[in-house]
Structure 1
Amino acid sequence: MAQTLETLARRTTSMQGIRSVVHTMKTLSVINSVPYEHAARAVEAYHRTILEGLHAFLSQSGPIKGVNSGTTDQVIVVFGSDHGLCGNYNETLAAHVADQIGPSPHKAPIILCIGAQMADALADRSLVVEKVFFPAASVDGIGRLANLLTQKLDTIRQDHHLHEVSVSLAYIARNAEGAQAPEIKPLLPLDPSIIDELQTKRWASRSLPYFSMPPDDLFTALIRGHLFASLFKAAAVAMVTENAARLALMQQAEQSVDDRLDALKSDTRAVRQTEITTELLDVIIGFEALKKKSIHTEGTEKSVRDGENPTTKQDEAPKKE
């Protein structure tokens, strides 16, 4: 189908508008990821403080009894995205969670989901979500989300025995090579290696730690702080990877738009050159036609003049005689 300059101009204007939107989304992805990265690093300091408190507790209370890995109920917190424009972010994580759970688990895990789109992706994998939370819209929202999740986990743990519930966090994180990959991180019960390290680690100060709270209450408070810090960091990391996925997708879209713009510019130049050539040919053809007409007219006039002169001469000759 032949394209006109007006059609190409409209398409070029539309593509330039799309490129402006894509470039804006790419810029926002870069800007939005920075605060979440800072939040993830900041909460690590708080988490280290919690672990130091657990170290002080273990140095005075001795080994923790009843901590084992033989849990019967499993809770999985899945961090998804509702903001869109990040590709198959939710589908990739949902597939990884379904693979980890298995086709027919002995007992279905309790799934807490962040994001309605993530809930739909899990439902497509035949996984039942118990509760859906709204994702954080800003850095301030991460604390709100972590508090809500901590309260929900406290409720679940109160309905079960303390050491009969395992909690895992599922989110997309960056691996050692910098690429994004789904990850499921065990959270509760506490990793035995961490407990062993804290129990065998010597207390650095000469002043021994002291606490007046009941040991069980203090231990519960420390576990709650560990939960909050881990959930906060997982939510921040999930937001960082979400913006990174959106940035990568916007870069691909921007490259595609640029390629399309180059093709439109090339088509515009070709159509313009074709029209110029056509106009030049019309001028040349018109000029040649006028030139032929002029030559023909001059020849006719000359023939007429040449035909009239002999007659005149013949008429004048007898008069001279």
Structure 2
Amino acid sequence: MTQTLERLTRRAETMRSIRGIVRTMKTVSAINAAPYEQAARAIEAYRATVLDGLHAFIAAHGALPPVPDVAGERITIAFGSDHGLCGNYNEVLAGEVLRGDDAPARVICIGAQMEDALAGQGIASDAALLPPANVDGLGRLAGRLITLLDDIRGAKGDAGITVSLVFMQRVEHGRQAPVTRRLLPLDPAMTGALADRPWASRSLPSFSLPPGRMLAALVRSFLFTELYLAAAEALVTENAARLARMQQAERAIDDRREELAGEMRQLRQSEITTELLDVITGFEALKSHRTKRHDDDDSRQRS
């Protein structure tokens, strides 16, 4: 029993150490999510400014011509995770990539583990980029993606491209869910809403750049904000998913520690009971031996 008690004690110490590691990981996840959440709020403010610029352009030059959805090659950009400890994060996103009506002709994935998850679904990635290691990397990733899209569009010529973003987004009650967002062509509902919005100023907007260059600059800035926002949101939800897994692990460890403590108490009580029984048995044996000696002495004295 002594060896069993020692083994339970070692297990309890191991669980205590593991809980400390899990608690540290939980704290790190909460700390890491904060800068990306701030970056997401900042880029949303910049996105609103870009949309104001598009509104001004439409007010000056008229509504943008609609682009058919079927035009061009279908491209999907999937924002995965490479850091682990966040459950089936990449597998859920890979399933979202397959959930579309038409399979994408090309997939650009963020993260090597995302590439493996896509391969598990039978989807070969056209390119794989490393996820950002910090907030500064969000801008570099967005710029790199725009360069890739420019190269693909240049190779296609007039055929154009259709681009969708797949990433994990926060939903109510602290949960996450995969979402597919259209990037190119521009959403006609968005451009239509800008065209229908009245121009509030008395002065019509004016631009120093030619209309074609001005529109290209605005669209490029809008694409940058969408890619930046998707990457930031993906990293926020990744850390939130990791935080949720660490909380579950912490609860499981606490439950296991309570079980071990109960087993140790039961074992100690069993050892105490055994020792008490040994003492009582020894006392009864000694008492019986003394009684027998006393009877023998009395018998000798009578004889």
Say whether the fold is shared (TM-score over 0.5): yes
Distance (Å, rounded) in 1 between the aligned partners of 2:158 and 2:267: 75
The answer on whether the counterparts of 2:66 and 2:188 sit within 8 Å (CA) in structure 1 is no
Q: Is the 8 A contact 2:82 2:112 kept in 1?
A: yes
Larger radius of gyration: 1
CA RMSD of aligned residues (A): 1.9
1:178-213 deviation digits (Å, cap 9, x = unpaired):
532111100111111222222232322233322122
Q: Answer yes or no: is 1:151 the counterpart of 2:147.
A: yes
Per-residue deviation, residues 20-74 of structure 1 (Å, max 9, x unmatched): 1112112222222222111111101100111111112222222334633231211
Q: 1:47 to 1:200 in 2, by over 3 A?
A: same
Greater mean deviation of Cα atoms: 205-214 or 258-267: 205-214
Counterpart amino acid of 1:78?
Answer: A
- Aligned pairs for 1:9-20 within 5 A: 9-20=9-20
Give 1:257's match in structure 2, choosing from 250, 253, 260. 253
Q: Which amino acid aligns with 1:91?
A: E
More off after superposition, 289-298 vs 264-273: 289-298
Letter in structure 1 aligned against 2:281? I
Q: In 1, Cα distance between the equivalents of 2:4 and 2:200?
A: 80
1:186 corresponds in structure 2 to 182
Q: 1:121 to 1:202 in 2, by over 3 A?
A: same
- Return the offset for 1:300: 2.1
Which residue does 1:22 correspond to in 2?
Answer: 22
Secondary structure of the residue aligned to 1:217 is: helix
Distance in 1 (CA, whole Å) between partners of 2:261 and 2:172 is 42
Alignment of 1:78-227 (within 5 A): 78-100=78-100, 102=102, 105=103, 108-161=104-157, 164-176=160-172, 178-227=174-223
**Structure 1 residue 50 corresponds to structure 2 residue 50:** yes
In 2, Cα distance between the equivalents of 1:248 and 1:12?
A: 24
SS at match of 1:100: coil
Query: Given the alignment of the two structures, is residue 281 of structure 1 paired with residue 270 of structure 2, yes or no?
Result: no
Relative to the length of structure 1, the TM-score reads: 0.89
Q: Which amino acid aligns with 2:76?
A: I
Unaligned 5+ segments in structure 1 are 308-321
Offset of residue 176 of structure 1: 4.9
In 2, Cα distance between the equivalents of 1:56 and 1:161? 29
Kept after mapping to 1: 8 A contact 2:44/2:225: yes
Structure 2: gaps spanning 5 or more residues: none
Structure 1 residues 273-320: Cα deviation after superposition (integer angstroms, max 9, x where no partner): 00001011111111111111122222222322333xxxxxxxxxxxxx
> Match of 2:156, SS?
coil
Q: How many residues align?
A: 303
User: How many Å separate the matches in 2 of 1:199 and 1:278?
Assistant: 87
Larger mean CA deviation between 190-199 and 164-173 belongs to: 190-199
State how far apart, in whole Å, the 2-side matches of 1:175 and 1:264 are: 37
Output the amino acid matched with 1:227. Answer: L
Q: Cα deviations across residues 126-174 of structure 1 (Å, max 9, x unaligned)?
A: 1110111111122222122112112211222222246721111001112
Partner SS state of residue 159, structure 1: helix
SS in 2 for 1:267: helix
Cα separation, 2, equivalents of 1:185 and 1:149: 15
| 1:251 Cα deviation from its structure 2 partner | 1.5
Give CA-to-partner distance per residue, 1:248-282, whole Å, 9 cap, x none.
21121111111111110000001000000101111
- What is residue 73 of structure 1 aligned with on the other side? 73
Contact 1:163 1:189 in 2 (8 A): no
CA contact (8 A) 2:166 2:181 kept: yes
Q: Distance in 2 between matches of 1:68 and 1:218?
A: 22
Contact kept in structure 2, 1:136 and 1:145, CA below 8 Å: yes
